[in-house]
Structure 1
Amino acid sequence: MEQAKELVEDNTKTNGKLPVLEYDVAEWPPIPIALAVAFQHVVLCMGAVVTVTYVVSDVVCISPNDPIRSQIFCSSLFMVGVATITQTWLGVRLPVFQGPSFTFLPPLLAMKSSGTWTCPLHNSEYNITSNTSTDAVIYVDEGTKYTRLNQLQGSLILASLVEVLLGATGAVGILQRIIGPITISVTIFLLGFSLYPVSIQCSVIYWPIAILSTLIVLISGVYLAHVKVKIPGCSRRTDSKHQSPPPAYNIFNIFAIPLCISLAWIVCFILTRIGVFPTDPTEPAYMARTDTRTELIESTPWFLWPYPGQFGAPDFNLGLFIALIPVTLSSAMESIGDYLATGKTCDALPVPVHAMNRGILIEGLMSVLSAFFGTGHATTSYSIGVSIVTLTKVGSRYAVLLSGVIALILAVFVKFGAVMSAMPVPIIGGISMISIGIVMGLAISTLTTVDMTSSRNISVVGISIFIPIICSETLNRYPNMVNTGNAELDRVLELIISFPMILGTIIALLLDNTVKGDKQSRGLLPIINDVTLNHQGTGFESPKRTRHYASRNHLYDIPYVSKLCNRYKSLNCLPFIQNV
């Protein structure tokens, strides 16, 4: 949010023009600068990787000292690297960083809260996704644990194939016409709302540490966001007389998460040493100790190469698959917005049809691969990457590609994953309070292009948010309310009702497309101005074909494919291949 404010201020100073990049999309910056920018991307995604790994592990009831936790963490980080490299080189070919998606967590939490995936009593350790703060832990046998991971794999693979289909057929353009900012805003807002149990159950273990973690991120990332530190700049000039002063960067903002983890972990270590935390594993505060997972770190090998199917063959769960479908569509629409924002920041608008379709296609394929690796989540574009480009003035896709390489290296170093998995749980609670709050803030910011003085839009947004919350809460209070006579259908309906994001997306999509309203008030015109539908309505096409557009459009071409298109004309019919 602070970066967005600075971007607006910079635009005002330059008469509405975006700040000039020191290094363009297709340029290689010097190695030190590329490494610095790449490291920022990896650092900013680390909090999400830790949180997602904890939630997935606890939903399938993996013991805190089970080495599988570090395997899932490293597999997740490995897929961050693979997806980022593939997206920047073969996908949309913009500096778009890929990371684990929070969007896919609410269906998993709904599976547990609905009673479909309960964890029978096995030992007395604490589980962060338990429904109460005093529940003892509740872990399943080895077979059941892998069964749930395999069901999650298979359901995620099939759901991700929907995104693959959108990109491969060029149907993204058609979807863009019916899924507008209102639907996207409602979906993201209810996503954040659905994740609040994670913050509660992580923080209730020991509130002082959770609050401390929140304050560190808040002070560093918000209050000190404008405090800039000068470091060697990105300027090409070597003449000392004309060399511009070194640029200043928001170091506190960029490194808020690592600073929070380091300081809060040190405090937990001190409190563990002086005996503040209990030694009884049945006590919730026991999970705030820094020595509870020493066995996990010691038993984890130093190096391990993640591979598909490492947790078994994929299985299938119908209810989970249905819940993941709207989540997948929402993730695709959010990624389209990230492509447009990145293209605008890099002065590379309009984004051509083939790049847009190919970006969604690659995201779908990487999500399928991520499911095969057993990460329990899909990969998606990170909006924070636009802020990094704006702050550093480095728009090079090769710098982002290098961040993928760094993620791959860290992923193979499994001992690092074990250490991160041993993080005291209250720290995750504090970080999640800020990160989930930002997700809900992003949902509200999506409505900036929508006329919210219109009673029509106010009604659509309010109803789409309130009704799903009411239905979800009603089902929680009256768990046996759904009774159709078919047990499988009951489970599916309970999952949909208990998951506000699904019901909210359906209601918002229906109301926004059936209640009379013009495109401008619905916020559709700004998107259409950046990327418009072609005459067949199957993809995107630029409204202007100037000389500048042609040169910028070349940025999106896949290397060596143009020669193949000249030789095999049928390739030009594919909506994700550049036209020659």
Structure 2
Amino acid sequence: MELKEVDGEEQLRNENAKEKWTKLGETGNNCNNWIDKSKSDFDKVEKVKDETLDHGIDEGKDTSDGKELEQEVGDAIEGEGEKNEKEGLRKKKNEFKAETGCLWGFWTILFVSGLATLLQSTLGVRLPIVQGGTVTFVIPTIAILLQPQWECEFVTARNQYGPNLNLTQLGLPEIGSEKHREMWMLRIREIQGAIIVASLFQVLTGVSGILMYMLKYIGPLCIVPIITLTGISLFPAGSKMASGHWWIALLTMFLITIFSQYMKRVEIPCFCTKDKIAFFSLFPVLLGVMTSFIVCIILTATDVLPADKTKWGYMARTDTGMHVLTEAKWFRFPYPGQWGLPKVSMVGVFGMLAGVIAAMIESIGDYYACARLAGAPPPPLHAVNRGVFTEGVACVLAGIWGSGNGTTSYAENIGVIGITKVGSRRVVQIGGLMMLVLGCFGKFAALFTLIPTPVIGGMFMITFGMVTAVGLSNLQYIDLNSPRNLFILGVSLFFGLSLPMWITEHDVIDTGNDIIDQLLSVLLSTSMFVGGLIGFVLDNTIPGTDEERGINSWRQTSSSVKSGSSQSNYDLYNFPYIQPYLDKIKLFNYVPVCPRFLAKPVIVNSFSNEAME
């Protein structure tokens, strides 16, 4: 009877405390005091135990009753511990489900990249060029998701109340639960729809042949801001990941620099041939990342890196994602619509269109660079049209599959061709097939979750810097002594950074129409769109000669198509197997993606095809 009275008093106190915290939660004050619930429950049980035992002793009860009571309270504590343990396991399982969603995205982009590589190297431009995810789609994606309707409630709550907040107390779904999965899948469906519809512009551009007219107005001073601002705009992502442990990030940068620059001419014997290969220049990024990864494994095993999540350096540990590797499925086939039906909005489509145009222009330059390094003649207009068309189709497929990104030509792959002197289509096609297969194995994708974010941040410092440098390299075509060119370049770059930063931080666009407001917000907060538009307008309106603008040097490669190699050398850009039959149909002479576009039918020579194979 006495124990029940004590329990009643404790229950009353608990109800009063709960009412007090609820009121505090409603006002948004002292929200951080909701953490450590399990500890407070344990303290309450201990308090019941102490008060009950003291009360029993004061009344002169037998000590054996106190022991029995202590045993009962101990059982209650043990039961509470088991309950908390089960609750913790359930939360970890839900968190794993959330992380598995990220893995599914990686599996999907790997699978779609393999499919795009096979399509491009077989039916597209037919050059040995790898297709994969591109950073040019990342900037508009971020701009779209920064819109108020897509603001993350979890991030807002943590920014307001602190990182240790119990989110479920605020009415937010538990991480990894079905409601939480629906929240992030809604955002993926928005990006899916934007990629699908925006990529149709690239498809129409390639199949219609209007590219020959568009290229007349696009010069280096339009290309430089687009590509350069793509790399510069991504520095916050690299900086945030590297800040988890700057020493590890610097180690990764140092190793990649050593392997790619100082040891690029160091050759080592190959076990399968008598020749020596420049091993370090072939795999500088892979070697740098793997070496830093091994260092992090050693530091994790020796507990040099802190095990406390709140301490600096924890993000460099390699055991933070071990549960993802152990519980990931061995096999999972990515399928179209795996996140649900894509959602199409005008804001998302026009925002993503900036990334599509940037990727398309960048790929055209990649085609000519790949052909030059592979020893092939410059791609004719029909091959460029077909390459752009195929990339558009691949981006549509990427959107349907739900990769969260589009695909484009990899400039890094072109550099590897120049180093290895291997320009075979079959090698690239085998690589694309391998990406298709590996994209279906969950364990393979889960391996990448073990790489610490500071290592990836250090790698981003190098790769994003290279993207910026590739954009600036197009300045070689223009006259940098011209005040006109310096004016256009400076204004497009500086304004392309300034306006999007201000638009992102201030909600100032108010035209009276919500759709137009959101559309302008996405476009004007995308740096490569703003910078590219300024460069395009100024370059085509400010008077200047073609030589001064770099147009003559820019088109020099294209003009060599007409006067360079013989027709038989260009047969490597023909369709495989079916080209002799297409040549007999005059209608295909007027189809922009066909090899006989605006030309008379000729007899196909298979010699060049065999050389490329």
Aligned mates of 1:277, 1:317 — CA distance in 2:
46
Counterpart residue number, 1:557: 574
Match of 2:546 among 519, 537, 542: 519
How far residue 198 of structure 1 moved from its aligned partner, in angstroms, is: 0.6
Match of 2:512 among 474, 482, 485: 485
Structure whose alpha-carbon radius of gyration is higher = 2
1:158 aligns with 2:185: no
Counterpart residue number, 2:185: 146
Aligned mates of 1:481, 1:213 — CA distance in 2:
41
Amino acid in structure 1 at the alignment position of 2:212: G
Q: Equivalent residue of 1:412, what SS?
A: coil
How far residue 137 of structure 1 moved from its aligned partner, in angstroms, is: 11
Counterpart residue number, 2:38: none
Counterpart residue number, 1:463: 491
Amino acid in structure 2 at the alignment position of 1:324: M
Cα 1:480–1:350 shift into 2, 3 Å: closer
Q: What is the root-mean-square deviation of aligned Cα atoms in Å?
A: 2.8
Counterpart residue number, 1:500: 527
Q: Equivalent residue of 1:493, what SS?
A: helix
1:528 aligns with 2:555: yes
Q: Map of 1:218-367 to 2, 5 A cutoff? A: 218-231=257-270, 246=275, 248-281=276-309, 285-367=313-395
Cα 1:78–1:452 shift into 2, 3 Å: same
Match of 1:444 among 466, 472, 483: 472
How far residue 251 of structure 1 moved from its aligned partner, in angstroms, is: 1.6
Amino acid in structure 1 at the alignment position of 2:414: V
Counterpart residue number, 1:84: 117
Question: Given the two structures, how large is their TM-score scaled by the length of structure 1?
Answer: 0.79
C-alpha contact 1:531 1:542 (8 A) present in aligned 2: yes
Amino acid in structure 2 at the alignment position of 1:301: K
Aligned mates of 2:272, 2:481 — CA distance in 1:
44
Counterpart residue number, 2:29: none
How far residue 114 of structure 1 moved from its aligned partner, in angstroms, is: 5.2
Provide, for residues 15-55 of structure 1, a one-character-per-residue CA deviation record: whole Å limited to 9, x for no partner: xxxxxxxxxxxxxxxxxxxxxxxxxxxxxxxxxxxxxxxxx
How far residue 164 of structure 1 moved from its aligned partner, in angstroms, is: 0.7
Aligned mates of 1:401, 1:205 — CA distance in 2:
38
Q: Equivalent residue of 2:344, what SS?
A: coil
How far residue 556 of structure 1 moved from its aligned partner, in angstroms, is: 0.6
Counterpart residue number, 2:608: none
C-alpha contact 2:224 2:475 (8 A) present in aligned 1: yes
How far residue 115 of structure 1 moved from its aligned partner, in angstroms, is: 4.7
Match of 2:454 among 423, 426, 430: 426
Cα 1:474–1:302 shift into 2, 3 Å: same
Counterpart residue number, 1:177: 216
Amino acid in structure 2 at the alignment position of 1:554: D
How far residue 529 of structure 1 moved from its aligned partner, in angstroms, is: 2.8
Q: Equivalent residue of 2:226, what SS?
A: helix
Cα 1:412–1:122 shift into 2, 3 Å: same
How far residue 210 of structure 1 moved from its aligned partner, in angstroms, is: 1.6
Counterpart residue number, 1:95: 128
Aligned mates of 1:551, 1:321 — CA distance in 2:
42
Aligned mates of 2:549, 2:336 — CA distance in 1:
43
How far residue 147 of structure 1 moved from its aligned partner, in angstroms, is: 0.7
C-alpha contact 2:145 2:187 (8 A) present in aligned 1: no
Q: Map of 1:376-387 to 2, 5 A cutoff? A: 376-387=404-415
Match of 1:543 among 546, 562, 573: 562
Among the aligned pairs, what percent are the same residue? 32
Aligned mates of 1:133, 1:355 — CA distance in 2:
55
Q: Equivalent residue of 2:99, what SS?
A: coil
C-alpha contact 1:110 1:495 (8 A) present in aligned 2: yes
Aligned mates of 1:123, 1:202 — CA distance in 2:
20
How far residue 362 of structure 1 moved from its aligned partner, in angstroms, is: 0.5
C-alpha contact 1:67 1:299 (8 A) present in aligned 2: no
Return 181-190 or 516-525, whichever deviates more: 516-525
How far residue 135 of structure 1 moved from its aligned partner, in angstroms, is: 9.2
Amino acid in structure 2 at the alignment position of 1:85: L
Amino acid in structure 2 at the alignment position of 1:543: K
C-alpha contact 1:203 1:425 (8 A) present in aligned 2: yes
C-alpha contact 2:196 2:400 (8 A) present in aligned 1: yes
Aligned mates of 1:136, 1:187 — CA distance in 2:
40
Provide, for residues 263-316 of structure 1, a one-character-per-residue CA deviation record: whole Å limited to 9, x for no partner: 222222233233344444455644332222222222211122222112211112
C-alpha contact 1:110 1:498 (8 A) present in aligned 2: yes
Cα 1:577–1:179 shift into 2, 3 Å: same
Aligned mates of 2:294, 2:343 — CA distance in 1:
41
C-alpha contact 2:282 2:420 (8 A) present in aligned 1: no
Instruction: State how many pairs are aligned.
Output: 493
Counterpart residue number, 2:143: 110
Provide, for residues 219-269 of structure 1, a one-character-per-residue CA deviation record: whole Å limited to 9, x for no partner: 2222222323243798xxxxxxxxxx72x4332122122222222222222
Aligned mates of 1:449, 1:64 — CA distance in 2:
51
Cα 1:264–1:117 shift into 2, 3 Å: farther
Aligned mates of 2:155, 2:228 — CA distance in 1:
36
C-alpha contact 2:117 2:428 (8 A) present in aligned 1: yes
Amino acid in structure 2 at the alignment position of 1:358: R
C-alpha contact 1:249 1:391 (8 A) present in aligned 2: no
Aligned mates of 2:523, 2:391 — CA distance in 1:
25
Aligned mates of 2:517, 2:257 — CA distance in 1:
43
How far residue 394 of structure 1 moved from its aligned partner, in angstroms, is: 2.0
Q: Equivalent residue of 1:141, what SS?
A: helix
Aligned mates of 1:524, 1:223 — CA distance in 2:
35
C-alpha contact 1:64 1:293 (8 A) present in aligned 2: no
Counterpart residue number, 1:395: 423
Counterpart residue number, 1:52: none
C-alpha contact 2:116 2:391 (8 A) present in aligned 1: yes
Counterpart residue number, 1:571: 588
Return the structure number with greater relative CO, CA threshold 8 A, min gap 6.
1
Counterpart residue number, 2:59: none
Aligned mates of 2:558, 2:416 — CA distance in 1:
23
C-alpha contact 1:121 1:137 (8 A) present in aligned 2: no
Aligned mates of 2:381, 2:526 — CA distance in 1:
34
C-alpha contact 2:220 2:554 (8 A) present in aligned 1: no
How far residue 475 of structure 1 moved from its aligned partner, in angstroms, is: 3.0
Aligned mates of 1:460, 1:118 — CA distance in 2:
35
C-alpha contact 1:133 1:201 (8 A) present in aligned 2: no
Cα 1:347–1:67 shift into 2, 3 Å: same
C-alpha contact 2:96 2:324 (8 A) present in aligned 1: no
Aligned mates of 2:552, 2:166 — CA distance in 1:
51
Provide, for residues 153-209 of structure 1, a one-character-per-residue CA deviation record: whole Å limited to 9, x for no partner: 110011111111111001121121111111111101110111011111111222222
Higher helix share: 2
Cα 1:64–1:269 shift into 2, 3 Å: farther
Aligned mates of 1:64, 1:201 — CA distance in 2:
24
